[in-house]
């Protein structure tokens, strides 16, 4: 498992201009470069990726928010894994809930993850329940998501596999409405248990597990120190360079 904390900035469909993107990238890169115990991944929209090609450092990495599942074929509007790798992209988010809401299935997510890993990049596979029911049916939902979204990934790639647990009910909310560190810890144990059942103990220890959903300055440190996760996926707060820098700093202090 990784030694450093992995903090992923998912800019989603922001900011609205190249000038703002350059400014945000520069500030975040400067903040991340100062930290010894954190790996920062910046995932801008595709439209800006070329401008930051090979713009990473040994501590700050370039990520993508999605990818096509193949390097060939007729696929208007899509971006292939090899194109991303050629730009110096090292991490790719697949199966984000906002992509799943547009129709992306577990099967498609798995194909994308396989393609990303085959290209030598790290795949950040997102899973998460829409809501929590008292009967605990959401555990089964997560189990199925995990099993089907990882279908076809060989164990030798597990070291480059990252599971991002992002409960949909927390995404976009404030820290007060996020999962508590205790809940996150419970879910990280559950995810490891499902991985162990599916792939055996040794392989199950290899992927990193991240938490995402309403991570702000107020809860980042506590989730990292007692949530049992190796990092965070940060949405709206990654667009605020100063707030995100403080999240990075608190990760470095864990």
Q: Per CB under 6 A, does 166 bind ligand PEP?
A: yes
The size of the interface with ligand PEP (CB under 6 A), counted in residues, is: 13
For 183, the token pair is 């809940």
CA distance 216 to 245: 11
User: Is 108 or 243 the residue whose CB approaches ligand PEP more closely?
Assistant: 243
Give the DSSP H or E segment for 164.
strand 161-165
CA distance 27 to 33: 10
User: Is 89 or 164 the residue whose CB approaches ligand PEP more closely?
Assistant: 164
User: Any idea which residues carry the catalytic annotation?
Assistant: 96, 166
CA distance 55 to 123: 19
Q: Per CB under 6 A, does 214 bind ligand PEP?
A: yes
HSE (CB half, 13 Å, CA atoms) of 65? 20
Angle at 174 between CA 171 and CA 179, to 5 degrees: 60
What's the 3-state SS for 137-156?
HHHHHHHHHHHHHCCCCCHH
User: Binding residue for ligand PEP (CB under 6 A) from 128, 221, 231, 235?
Assistant: 235
Q: Per CB under 6 A, does 248 bind ligand PEP?
A: no
User: Is 112 or 236 the residue whose CB approaches ligand PEP more closely?
Assistant: 236
For 212, the 3-state DSSP assignment is: strand
Contact 80, 67 (CB under 8 A): yes
Shortest distance in whole angstroms from residue 61 CB to ligand PEP: 17
Shortest distance in whole angstroms from residue 89 CB to ligand PEP: 17
Q: Per CB under 6 A, does 100 bind ligand PEP?
A: no
Q: Per CB under 6 A, does 31 bind ligand PEP?
A: no
User: Binding residue for ligand PEP (CB under 6 A) from 208, 236, 247, 250?
Assistant: 236
Q: Per CB under 6 A, does 111 bind ligand PEP?
A: no
Q: Per CB under 6 A, does 187 bind ligand PEP?
A: no
Binding site for ligand PEP (CB under 6 A): 10, 166, 171-172, 212-215, 233-237
């Amino acid at each position: 498992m990784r030694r450093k904390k992995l903090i992923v900035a998912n800019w989603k469909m922001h900011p609205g201009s190249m000038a703002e993107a350059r400014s945000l990238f520069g500030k975040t890169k400067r903040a991340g470069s100062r930290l010894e115990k954190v790996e920062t991944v910046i995932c801008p929209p595709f439209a800006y990726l070329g401008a930051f090609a090979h713009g990473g450092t040994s501590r700050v990495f370039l990520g993508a928010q999605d990818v096509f599942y193949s390097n060939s074929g007729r696929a208007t509007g899509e971006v292939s894994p090899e194109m991303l790798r050629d730009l110096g992209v090292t991490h790719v988010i697949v199966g984000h809930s906002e992509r799943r809401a547009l129709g992306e299935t577990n099967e498609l997510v798995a194909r994308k993850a396989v393609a990303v890993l085959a290209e030598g990049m790290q795949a950040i596979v997102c899973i998460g329940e829409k809501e929590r029911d008292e009967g605990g049916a959401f555990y089964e939902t997560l189990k199925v998501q995990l099993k089907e979204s990882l279908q076809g990934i060989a164990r030798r790639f597990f070291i480059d596999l990252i599971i991002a647990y992002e409960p949909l009910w927390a995404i976009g909310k404030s820290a007060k409405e996020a999962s508590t560190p205790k809940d996150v810890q419970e879910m990280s144990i559950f995810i490891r248990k499902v991985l162990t059942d599916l792939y055996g103990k040794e392989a199950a220890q290899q992927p990193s597990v991240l938490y995402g959903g309403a991570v702000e300055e107020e809860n980042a440190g506590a989730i990292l120190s007692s949530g049992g996760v190796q990092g965070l996926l940060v949405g709206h707060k990654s667009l605020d360079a100063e707030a995100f820098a403080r999240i990075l700093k608190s990760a470095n202090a864990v």
